[in-house]
Structure 1
């Protein structure tokens, strides 16, 4: 009986990075201007192919972030966001990309390198509404990264890292509004925050306001998980063209 040999189809493996930060009270994502085809001159997430068969995927993500934007991934916690491998997502062939996410405060200005003609921070809102076009399926990857970041703010005290060492409830609320993409009722937000044990700790000093009473100051609490989660209000989920 004849035997039929089978060989797997050729697949290229790549990495893409969704790096999020707050700038001027607005959520931004790191984008690079592609200097090569395909999509030369278009904005895209930093990333690229593995150098060789022995390169670790996480190591490739660190390398690409440094080569294309001059950012040291050693100061970031990169978590795997997902794998993207739909046929036709890349005109060069069957390419599967493993995407990584990081969200951190105080990230520096990027410096373009290798095959990136430029690198800069771009408002997530501009990407999500289509005002800023991005290459490949990177808009979907940004959308998935945004949803993961929003979920993380529900379950972890990540927002305090974007506040001063001593902050007000309003400072904290502004971080949630920027990431969740929605206005929050101040009294309801304060009530929920105060009900979460170990989230924030009151400081003895206050911040003098220009009008009204001095504002109570807080610092980050000891807990690393919010229990119960600080749930988003209805309508603040990720939708097409919504942040």
Structure 2
């Protein structure tokens, strides 16, 4: 998902492939018109006791019945649709509601959307693990966002208004006169919401001033400098 989607929240459709109870045998695994029978080896227990003799005496332990593989039942004629597996894989589309403020590796639980339980047991849960793309200019640290704003010495000395990118679109920043290289300006409440406490105030966006020669900037920063510098000239005529 994109950085903006993670900050603001969104809804997404995902396609999954999961096992579903076979519609032909209704989860019995048996061919239509037949049914499983009690395992004759373990008498339906799913386990058998094995006795071992040694020089120091005899001991026994329980092991899974090989005939029924621990189910306690045997299927003489398997279902032609699921081959006795009781479930078949199908594709399904689910809509996931993603709250504002999520980050990488956050898990969203979809109750009851996991694999179906056998023998009447309820479905399991599906966990969606999120992966968030990086922003082109902003860096996130928990609830706060950080942005480095390149300005020329004249802008730092005289101050003025300039448009900068935020998580919520372009915003106006006022640069005080005589701003120095490395100074930080806080945009209160322009950070990220707490996904666990959505009613709390969001974090802040911290803008660090970088006084520089535009020609020395890398291409990515030079592109942004040109955009913000245009807004600076318009706002401070």
TM above 0.5, one fold? no
More helix by share: 1
**TM-score for the superposition, normalised by structure 2:** 0.22
Q: 1 or 2, which has the higher strand percentage?
A: 2
Q: TM-score, normalised by structure 1?
A: 0.21
Larger Rg: 2
